[in-house]
Structure 1
Amino acid sequence: MTRTKKKRERKSLNNSLLGLRELLRAVDSQTPSSISSSARTRLNTEPKMEHATPPAAAAGGITATVDLSPAATDLGGAHLLPCGIRQNGGAPVSDYFKPRSTGVEVEGVRVEEAFFRGRKLQGATLALPDGYRGYVLEKKSRGKDAQNSEGEVSNFVSRAEFQNITYWNHDTTPSAEDSLPRCFHWLTVANAMHKPVTAEELANMSAMQNQDS
């Protein structure tokens, strides 16, 4: 390889590294730490698909508040049905909706059975992960907020709480691959990922690395 060709390749490599450095600097300048709190709120609440958002909705964000101060009724458990119910109010649910165990277990999931308006449902009960509580919320929307005329404000009030949830499938048998069990599994993984690492754990990791080397 000639000296001139080596110089050309070295110059090309330096230019590539310079471009990469500028790109990293540009990305770093756009990290969430450099975004104001109001901008972060709008980024978290506004729809990501700008073209699908009406102009009026795109102009202001959506703010939600949750009031957990009222004493909530402890339901123990709640049910997630595979349908929409266009009814707000009380109903004698226990008189008509009577889940029972089938004695069948699929992938470690105990299958339950119930009928809703003549349709057979199969479900499974899951306990909420440690450190989590479930709430039944009632929406009290105030429409336009006086202090934030550009955004819609939705207020929620806690009416009940629960420690486990039974989800129901219509056409399929419950399994560990359903969306809700996988969601709960992700919460466990996320907690492990974000858990602070202690000095003792770091020392143990260093000792293990030294042993391997």
Structure 2
Amino acid sequence: MLAIQSTSAKKCTPNLLPARLNHNGPVNDTAHYWKPEVDDKGTPHAYFRGRHLHGTPLALPCTHTGAVLQITDKNLPQTRNQPVDDDDEEDDQETVEVKVAEQIGEFEEVVVWGHGGQVEEGQDIFIRGMREWMGFAEAMHGEDEDEGGEGEKKAS
């Protein structure tokens, strides 16, 4: 499990590129390698390693905030899970290790990049996945529509 520790996070825009890079570390001169521009129609364009990419911005709903996290080696103090069944004894409880993840950035949109034109929302797995995840998160954490507290939606 993870616990998020908020710090002064800076605004950023994550970019999903259609490429695999065999580098895991900082790049000294990012402006030399990555210079996205926006055309007259508002479409982002960039050249990466000689290939022309077209960007599709995907805005998060105003009810959501994106976070860039860095998992640390820090742990929260140990806690114990509550028993799932009434038959479980206290000796059978497991300890849960909770790692601390520091929030180093936050965002309101993601840009998905593709070759040869803008990415189609119905065809791209990243866009479809994000839309489905946001819908699932709203269904799990949203407020019930009916006031009766029954937990079921009424048929009209």
Aligned pairs for 1:39-50 (under 5 A) are none
How far apart, in 1, do the equivalents of 2:31 and 2:102 lie?
24
Task: Report the alpha carbon displacement of residue 164 of structure 1 after superposing the two structures with TM.
Answer: 0.9
Q: Which has the higher helix share?
A: 1
In structure 2, the residue corresponding to 1:140 is in which secondary structure? strand
The letter for the 1-side match of 2:59 is: A
Residue of 15, 35, 38 corresponding to 1:98: 35
Residue of 71, 77, 90 corresponding to 2:8: 71
How far apart, in 1, do the equivalents of 2:26 and 2:104 lie?
12
Number of aligned residue pairs: give it: 132
Match of 1:159 in 2: 104
In structure 2, the residue corresponding to 1:196 is in which secondary structure? coil
1:83 aligns with 2:28: no
List per-residue Cα deviations over 1:157-179 (Å, max 9, x = no partner). 11111111111124664011112
**Residues 68 and 132 of structure 1: CA distance in aligned 2, closer, same or farther (over 3 Å):** farther
In structure 1, the residue corresponding to 2:14 is in which secondary structure? strand
Residue of 53, 66, 75 corresponding to 1:121: 53
Match of 1:131 in 2: 63
Unaligned runs of 5+ in 2: 80-94, 149-153
Aligned identity (percent) is 25
Residue of 180, 183, 187 corresponding to 2:129: 183
Normalised to the residue count of structure 1, the TM-score between the two structures is 0.48
Q: Which has the higher strand share?
A: 2
Normalised to the residue count of structure 2, the TM-score between the two structures is 0.61
C-alpha contact (below 8 Å) 1:101/1:112 kept by paired residues: yes
Match of 2:89 in 1: none
In structure 1, the residue corresponding to 2:18 is in which secondary structure? coil
In structure 1, the residue corresponding to 2:106 is in which secondary structure? strand
**Residues 119 and 88 of structure 1: CA distance in aligned 2, closer, same or farther (over 3 Å):** same
Which structure would you say has the larger RCO, counting Cα contacts within 8 Å and 6 or more residues apart? Answer: 2
Unaligned runs of 5+ in 1: 1-63, 105-109
In structure 2, the residue corresponding to 1:132 is in which secondary structure? coil
C-alpha contact (below 8 Å) 1:111/1:174 kept by paired residues: no
C-alpha contact (below 8 Å) 2:74/2:99 kept by paired residues: yes
Which is higher, the Rg of structure 1 or of structure 2? Answer: 1
**Residues 136 and 199 of structure 1: CA distance in aligned 2, closer, same or farther (over 3 Å):** closer
